[in-house]
A = this chain, B = another copy of it.
Amino acid sequence: KLLPPLSPPRREVVFFFFFSQIDHFGFLEDGTFKQRYLVAAKHWQQPGGPILFYTGNEGDITWFCNNTGFMWEIAEELGAMLVFAEHRYYGESLPFGQDSYSDSKHLNYLSSEQALADFAVLIRSLKQTLPGAQHSPVIAVGGSYGGMLSAWFRMKYPNIVVGALAASAPIWQFPGMVPCGDFYKVVTQDFARSGYNCDANIRKSWKAINNVSSSASGLQWLSEEFSLCAPLKNKIGAVGFKNWLQETWVNLAMVDYPYEANFLQPLPRWPIQVVCKHLAFDSTVSDHQLLQGLSQAAKVYYNFTGSSSCLNTSQTATSSLGLLGWFYQACTEMVMPMCTDGVQDMFEPEEWNFQAFSDECNVMFGVRPRADWADIVYGGKNIASHSNIIFSNGGLDPWSAGGVTHNITDSLVSIMIPDGAHHLDLRYSNDHDPPSVRQARALEVKYFREWIKQAKKKHHPA
């Protein structure tokens, strides 16, 4: 089988804008904004062929489009049209243009509920205006936060979508649903299984950084060793440096794919194994030796292509992601407790402190998170009455800790991909794909076909 192209041929995609209500839940603000969506209809069998609808998450929709090869690969066999809808406040879908992030007043319409309503109204409009789409069953597809959206979309708008694939969607990473430490445990396991003493040496590294960074010369040495663009100047700088490293290890766990890929960063195949080669020290290693290895390890993530002249500690991933918007969402609805203990994980112990988090949010955005809201509005652990949702999870993916990893009912099913990282199933197929992800994709398509059949039966009763 030939390898598919790394991104869909440009000519197949058409960019559109839809005028969506800024506020679906109030009528005082009656303005609209231009929401971007992409359509690929080359293989669509009209009338009535299915629509695979990507529920865009916190970033530029073209980037998600290019990283969701699975949809491109199954379009022909399903005779499906592909639609990728951009999430409001990300990419080019800015409700107030350049002012969208200017203050809490302009940010007030950034929420998952508004985004779901955008998707629902867009689909309704497409079905009313696209010839041949009136009876097209629509299946929601999404990964990560986009996967949460696709699951919630089916739960809240079963009239609009006949089913949903929620890939690596941590819909249970909310207060009281899973232990706050599970996320970092998975990260740690990934490193533990990828090289000799790998997790142990990362666990050790924090102390080493503390030791070395306690002097000005140590800070300078660290900055040079890690080729930091902005040298560390003091204790606060060292704390930021440790946070940046921690995020780096987390990101590596998310993108520990079995082949060279460029999702958050360009990386080698099984990148954690490559990282761990630099951290295979015995317990006798000195602080400086360990940190030299750690620097090489970090550069696997930040400089695999060799094109970085220095490492920028203010960024850990692609700029296609809208970090500020996501912070705002975390500071309002998306309250996801995380904690570390340094024993079951390889990080410095840190408890989950909702009050401190809430105070930070108040300083940053002038809003306070509502810890219980997501549970109330999206059902939390009590979702068994819904139907036609696939929750796929990768065993290597830390977000699987907050995912649905067991079947809830016959039609709320979980697919585990033990060798998979963050929504590997949504990516283009690859010769290095483990059998588990091939099976997962086949099963996903099988469910899609079933949902499509159910929907057709409704419109053409026997």
**Chain A contact residues, CB within 8 Å of chain B:** 21, 24-28, 30, 104-105, 107-109, 111, 113-114, 117, 120-121, 124, 156-160, 332, 366-368, 370, 372-373, 375-377, 379-380, 382-388, 458
Contact = CB atoms under 8 A, between A and B. Distances in A.
A373 B30 CA distance: 13
Contacts of A159: 376, 379-380, 382-383, 385
A120 B377 CA distance: 8
Nearest to A388: B385
Contact of A332 (B27, B383, B388): B27
Contact of A109 (B24, B26, B114, B121): B26
26 contacts: A21-B370, A24-B373, A24-B377, A26-B109, A27-B104, A27-B111, A27-B367, A27-B368, A27-B370, A28-B105, A28-B107, A30-B368, A120-B376, A121-B372, A124-B372, A124-B375, A124-B376, A156-B156, A157-B377, A157-B379, A158-B386, A159-B379, A159-B380, A159-B382, A159-B383, A384-B458
**A117, A383, A388 — most chain B CB neighbours (10 Å):** A117
A251 to B, nearest CB: 28
Contacts of A117: 376-377
A368 B26 CA distance: 11
A110 to B, nearest CB: 9
Contact of A385 (B27, B28, B158, B377): B158
A160 B25 contact: no
A36 to B, nearest CB: 20
Contact of A25 (B113, B367, B385): B113
Q: Top 8 nearest A-B pairs by Cβ distance? A: A159-B379, A159-B382, A27-B367, A158-B385, A28-B108, A25-B25, A27-B332, A26-B108
Among A104, A157, A159, A367: residue with most chain B CB under 10 A: A159
B367 A30 contact: yes
A100 to B, nearest CB: 14
Contacts of A113: 25
A109 to B, nearest CB: 7
Given A117-B377, A121-B376, 11 more contacts: A21-B370, A25-B26, A25-B113, A27-B332, A27-B367, A30-B367, A30-B368, A120-B376, A156-B156, A158-B385, A159-B379
A105 B158 CA distance: 32
A114 B111 CA distance: 15
Contacts of A368: 27, 30
Contacts of A111: 25-27
Contacts of A370: 21, 27
Contacts of A124: 372, 375-376
A439 to B, nearest CB: 28
Nearest to A29: B108
Contacts of A379: 157-159
A108 B158 contact: no
Interface centre among A26, A107, A377, A379 (most CB of B within 10 A): A26
A385 B382 contact: no
A117 B373 CA distance: 9
Nearest to A30: B368
A160 B366 CA distance: 30
Contacts of A158: 379, 382-383, 385-386
A28 B367 contact: yes
A367 B31 CA distance: 11
A24 B370 CA distance: 10
A404 to B, nearest CB: 14
Contacts of A458: 384
Contacts of A372: 121, 124
Contacts of A114: 25
Contacts of A120: 376-377
Contacts of A367: 27-28, 30
A223 B255 CA distance: 81
A113 to B, nearest CB: 5
Nearest to A383: B159
A156 B159 CA distance: 12
A123 to B, nearest CB: 9
A160 B376 CA distance: 8
Nearest to A156: B156
